[in-house]
Amino acid sequence: MKEFSQFGVQMTVAQMCKHCAICEEYYFGNIKKSRSFLGRLVGKLAIKAILKDDESGINKNAPTAPVFLVNETGLNFEKERADWKRLITRYETYQKDSFTHWFFGKCQGQLGQFIYKHSDHHLKQFGVD
């Protein structure tokens, strides 16, 4: 199974799928995370840089909050992939006009773009284009 090093820690593709699924639950309001101090200082600039054009994105080894880290080992890839896919399909009925992100702050009409960039970032780590 291919692994990717993040912050010096190896992440498997199954862990990446679970990480992304946790993020989807967060975007739907099922996980609570307060704003970070650093995010309050530079969050708006960071989201603008990530979303500025098609080529921009999330930098390698970008920090994440501990609530989104997956340290479990022995995860079943097929299960984690199916869970993530199921959560993604919920966006067909997503009703929120805005969302307050733990780092970027209030995202008005930007959340969909960010979710795409976040997923793309992780898929590219494992060679999925």
State pLDDT tens for residues 43-95. Answer: 999 999 999 999 999 988 888 999 999 999 999 999 999 999 999 999 988 88
CB 51 within 8 A of CB 114: yes
| Interval 15-25 mean pLDDT | 97
Q: How far is CA 15 from CA 35, 49, 51, 77, 95, in A?
A: 24, 27, 25, 8, 28
Residue 4 or residue 72, greater confidence: 72
Stated pTM of the model: 0.88
Structure tokens that stand for 107 in this block = 């995202």
Task: Indicate the domain borders of the chain.
Answer: 3-125
- Predicted confidence at residue 97, as pLDDT, reads 80
| 48: CB partners within 8 A, 6+ apart | none
Can you tell me the mean pLDDT for 113-124? 93
